[in-house]
Amino acid sequence: MSAKINIEQDMRLGKFEFFAMNNPIKRFIQKYIEFTIFKKMLTKNNINLVHKTIMDGGCGSGFSTKLIQKEFNPERIIAFDYMPEQIQLAGKQHIGVDFFIGDLTDIKLKDNLCDAVFIFGVIHHIPGWQKALTEVNRVLKPGGCLLLEEPLFRFSWQELESGLEKTQFRIQDQKHFCFSYFHSYLCIKR
């Protein structure tokens, strides 16, 4: 039981990080750096997500979901976060999305549902992050894309990239920023 409590605490944001993820500076960075990198990768690789089914895994306050919705006008958008506090904030976005509490290591969606999955800096919070990658792969359609942005924290870049390959993702494109502390990946489900 105590191991489960430790894992749950590890996956939750502390007070400082909760503030850091929910302020105007973070929203600026997400919109003008992180999301812009993803858009450029998609364009460079001739991937069009307009009117597709898109998942925002670990959507936080819903700001990333709002960016996805505005840019791609998805047929369906699925957005969830592990923390109820974040889902409460996301509900205030008023964008017509049904946000829900969910876990990337146990995604309550059917197989091969999504055309794309966006994950902004969440995987490093998950002790069993490899299982999360397996679950993301499961809900993606064959040929679907994972857009993943992560800081160098829980794993080395080699470990993360090996984990992506082991879960049947092909790294199609990648970009490093902020002195290579952050990496963005465009991965395709094999």
- The pLDDT assigned to 145 comes to 98
The 3-state secondary structure of 94-161 reads CCCCCEEECCCCCCCCCCCCEEEEEEECCHHHCCCHHHHHHHHHHHEEEEEEEEEEEECCCCCHHHHH
Residue 137 near residue 106 (C-beta atoms within 8 A): no
CA–centroid distance for 111 within its chain: 18
Write the DSSP assignment of 42-75 as a string of letters: HHHTT---TTSEEEEET-TTTHHHHHHHHHH--S
Q: Residue 118: which of 45, 168, 69 has the closest Cα? A: 69
Helix (H, G, I), strand (E, B) or coil at 15: helix
Angstrom distance (rounded) from CA 57 to CA 68: 12
- The pLDDT assigned to 5 comes to 38
Low-confidence ranges of the chain (pLDDT < 50): 1-9
- Tokens 């794993």 map to which residue? 155
- The pLDDT assigned to 18 comes to 59
Instruction: Name 189's Cβ contacts closer than 8 Å, sequence gap at least 6.
Output: 137, 140, 141, 142, 143, 144, 145, 146, 168, 169
- The pLDDT assigned to 153 comes to 86
- The pLDDT assigned to 19 comes to 59
Cα separations (Å) of 28 from 20, 25, 67?
12, 5, 11
CATH 3.40.50.720 fits 2-189, yes or no: no
- The pLDDT assigned to 103 comes to 97
List the chain domain ranges.
2-189
